[in-house]
Chain A
Amino acid sequence: MEKVRELVWNGALNVQFIAKSNILIDGIPENKGIVNLRIPRDTYIINYLPLVLSRIRNVLKINIDDYTGQFWFEFKDTSIPWHYPMGVIYDVVEPEYLRNSAPANDDTTLNMWKLHLNYGPNIPHNLLPLIDGINQVEKYWMHLWKQACFILNGSSKQVMSVSMKDSQIFWNSVLLRRLDNFEHIARRIVPIKPRFVPLIVHRGLSFGEVNQPTIMTHKDDGSACKILDIFVNLSLERKSSDIFICQGIQIPLDMDLTAVYNNFMSFDGFLHLVLISETHSTKES
């Protein structure tokens, strides 16, 4: 399991941030507002906003030390949320890369996710505004861990009893990419045999369409719940082409839910699965 956790933790995306021309100083060519970064999948994209802004501060119309509006990211003119792990957002909007995986595995090509940086007095209505800067991101993440803990243990005590010092180490493990510190504290919260799994199912190519089913790890007859059982739980008719993606990987439908959770859990304590069905794919084309 450690090996898989390491691979999941180190999974990363090449992201090209492009400042929209309306936020660049007049006359500045677009290529001066570009920042290329390799960013872990299992983190919030908003954690990288200060770095992106610092790289292009000299070409922005906005004074990044003193601004009252909001920055946000867009993909193909659609604003993208920051409150899900970055890799999940990528899997939701770009699931086709799995169906056509050849370019990604070719040594001569580089997959680059192009996102636009935008700014305005008001954030698009579907996004969580940042009122308290990066502090708010940490609080939000801790709130998700409280939820995850409640689902796993029937109480948030395990999170509430993490000391202030360990809580800071926990958050820093996400920012500084220290898997050992992360696992050390996460495993104090996640029981060995949970009854329920904190699960969020996202629909591919459809932002905001999510389900948070309450799903037990074992059925009444004692058998382990499989990924396949999520269809029944969500009252969805399964089509032969339907696939679940987690951390950029297609998950076999006959895998035990607990095993998938233990291996692929995100840094927010949830298992994020992206359901891609043929109807979603054809909608795009």
Chain B
Amino acid sequence: MIQYDEYCKQLQKCYQELRIYDDPLCQGCNILPDELVIQLRIPKMVESLCDSRSLSNIEVRIKYSQIYQEPILLLRLWEFEYDDENDVQILKQYFPKNIKDFLSLESWVQIELDIFSNDNKFPLRSPVWYYIHPCDTSAIVGDNEEAHNDYLSRWFSVFLLNWLEIVR
């Protein structure tokens, strides 16, 4: 577990030190006081599972869960769709039948769809996200007092960076 203030502090540190914005898959990275939003290119491994779909990008969002007092990782997939009526290409969310296989996520990952209704900053945007269930985070990341300063760095490593290594 990590307290909110400590999470915010470590988030800024991780942003500077992990330099996710330099990752070849990263299209854009937006840091807020308590959130990190990353736009990722579709990794090769995922692209190979797309069939004829034209995927655009993966949107990843890291935010703080007040309930679990843990960082949580949200993500969603965007695909291009041609709107014949208006003769334009639009972006829409894509929900594969089995998201875990589709993204080649590790077996311990519990991923579900949920609504994040409190996100009133952009009311016209979809509040639907996949999220990785955080209830075992402390056990997965390791939570002893001496290593607490690096809690979020370890979390990034387990929840995001390892996955990027696998799928790139």
Contact = CB atoms under 8 A, between A and B. Distances in A.
B158 interface: no
Contact of B68 (A131, A139, A150): A150
A147 interface: yes
How large, as a class, is the contact surface on chain B?
20 to 34
Contact of A125 (B117, B120, B128): B128
A128 B113 contact: yes
Interface stretch (A52-60, A205-213, A246-254): A205-213
Interface in A112-140: 122, 125-129, 131-132, 136, 139-140
B118 A210 contact: yes
Given A131-B97, A143-B133, A156-B135, A126 B126 contact: yes
B112 A125 contact: no
A129 B124 CA distance: 17
A150 B113 contact: no
A83 interface: yes
A151 B113 CA distance: 20
Interface residues of A, number: 26
A146 B133 contact: yes
B127 interface: yes
Contact of B115 (A83, A131, A132, A150): A83
B127 to A, nearest CB: 6
Interface of A: 81, 83, 122, 125-129, 131-132, 136, 139-140, 143, 146-147, 150-151, 156, 160, 208-212, 214
29 contacts: A81-B115, A125-B93, A125-B124, A125-B127, A126-B126, A126-B127, A127-B128, A128-B113, A128-B115, A128-B128, A131-B95, A131-B96, A131-B97, A131-B113, A140-B113, A143-B114, A143-B133, A146-B135, A147-B67, A150-B68, A150-B135, A151-B67, A208-B123, A208-B127, A211-B118, A212-B67, A212-B118, A214-B66, A214-B67
Given A210-B118, A211-B118, 13 more contacts: A122-B92, A126-B115, A126-B126, A127-B128, A129-B95, A129-B113, A131-B113, A136-B113, A143-B114, A150-B68, A150-B135, A208-B117, A208-B127
